[in-house]
A and B are shown apart, each in its own frame.
Chain A
């Protein structure tokens, strides 16, 4: 009996290849070593911690790139079906690392203005980054849920990080309660799917019913089952909460406003990107059998999301809320891409391309916001940007390029990203959604340019001195310059970003 048991358990551990998730492990170790470094280092050397975080992540980025070039990039399943690595997950690894590096950098700027604990911020950002990587690799609902909860719990903390600010605490509480509710909905959906797929009385039932591949077979043969349908809908509703799609967007403006600016950027870019990748994996994987039922639902939600986000953003004066609401609109465009990816397979890469351009442009804008913000982080009104471009010509330029790219103005990366998405939607025959998206883009140009107008053309008669303070250190300028440069390069030469095969 014992021999048999050991043989049996060895079958499970045979695919536990820890080397496959080396970048994630390295990030986890880095997060722990930051906490240790804070304890060990004397006070005057505490500034080493952020540097360690940023340079350490660059090292992990090299490690991940090395793993890809060493030929580990082929598709493979590891940890007895817990994770599945594909070319997409390798790209997303780099994406999440890039965004967490930028968040750490913005965090450094933010924390220098606040009297708050420092090291924990970087440790949490690193844990989130590692968990996001595992989230997009997960191939089993257990892994999916644990990774998702790690991300969400760490985000609850980061959103409420500025405990001296009422807005931040309020945002943290709102995010905690609504996030917990959405997790409950998601979990209920998973449980329904598990219960149905584990029932030996049904065709294609499985003893490992949380595995995506097993579930795909089951759902294909049981697409009419009401429990399967309700389960899939609830899972998708839980993910929609994370990406802020229309009926579940209620938390977005308050949380984006109250959270510290770097955290807002992280939520807007990395968390949303992970949501979309997971949504695509589920829709093209386990729920492919339900496409006929889900596509109309998704289409209505996508259209409503685009219109709601854009219309609500028009009247906003607080720039953080504006970024949040316009982020809802971007989620709508991305949803169009997700729906297109069900019939046009390269649309997956168009979505990732769009996410990369969104990352570059958003971090340029959030970087400028971080430099401009005073110590009261939640209060960032459009009025503060009066004559901004003449006070800080460089930052004004960065802001204009970032907003232009978000709006989708031709020579910039955002235009190409939208173009690819819309071409994919056209090939998939989603003409109605295409029309709604174009209306949305037109509305978005109005409020993005309202911001640019505020910074360039408000009261041109008044004399303004150029003001060196608050314009950022040379390294800030270098980083923002690089982001803008990358946006322009992608816009002029889309082939510079080798994502679309």
Chain B
């Protein structure tokens, strides 16, 4: 049953991703991208990564795609988009991309040197090296635990990343007026 579901959702993801790339209409492309994201979220569910699946739908299929659609509508960008595979750089780029994909897939699954099947580790090791480990879970709670302990520093730095991005948006988009008190 799980196998069948996997093939169904993987098919949906791949086909909608392909339509997204080759669709001449930008809005259709964006819609297909949403379907592709939802398909990926379903694959996450099959892997029992429920939290990741929720985030995938909320953040990517929800917030990010709404932003995309807004910009597409604002810029009215769906003209002159049918130059698919006509220019040589795009063609060369897609061939190189597929070649890389083939190499990676062969390395991972085909031939004598292919990678062994990965398996889930049932237990997390104790970082102090003493005492027993604790069972591995994929619940949202456990993400929070490691985010605020092990990954505290990157987490704090992300705050500064967002601050820099916010300052940037304000600086680049706001019209600056010279302060009146200044002698210039």
Contact = CB atoms under 8 A, between A and B. Distances in A.
* Bound pair (A, B): yes
Contact of B126 (A11, A82, A149): A11
By DSSP majority rule, is chain A's interface helix, strand, loop, or mixed?
helix
Interface stretch (A223-231, A264-272, A424-432): A223-231
Contacts of B116: 199, 201-202
A348 to B, nearest CB: 25
A150 to B, nearest CB: 4
Q: For chain B, give the interface size range.
A: 35 or more
Interface string B155-179: 0011011011101101110101011
B160 A120 contact: no
Interface string B93-127: 00000001001101110000101111101001111
Contact of A13 (B119, B131, B152): B152
B2 interface: no
Contact of B118 (A21, A143, A198): A198
B150 A123 contact: no
A196 B115 contact: yes
A437 B107 CA distance: 38
Nearest to B119: A200
Contacts of A43: 179-182
Given A8-B134, A157-B172, A163-B172, A16 B153 contact: yes
A153 B176 contact: no
B181 A200 contact: no
Interface string A326-363: 00000000000000000000000000000000000000
A123 B167 CA distance: 9
Contacts, number: 152
B168 A117 contact: no
A217 B154 CA distance: 24
A149 B149 CA distance: 21
Given A8-B127, A80-B150, A150 B160 contact: yes
Contact of A201 (B104, B117, B151): B117
Interface of A: 4-5, 7-14, 16, 21, 28, 31, 35, 42-44, 46, 79-80, 82-83, 115-117, 120, 123-124, 127-128, 130-131, 134, 142-143, 146-147, 149-150, 153-154, 156-157, 160-161, 163, 172, 192, 196, 198-202, 207, 224-227, 230
Interface of B: 100, 103-104, 106-108, 113, 115-119, 121, 124-128, 131-134, 145-146, 149-154, 157-158, 160-161, 163-165, 167-168, 170-172, 174, 176, 178-182
The 6 closest A-B pairs by CB, nearest first: A201-B116, A43-B181, A157-B168, A226-B107, A11-B127, A11-B128
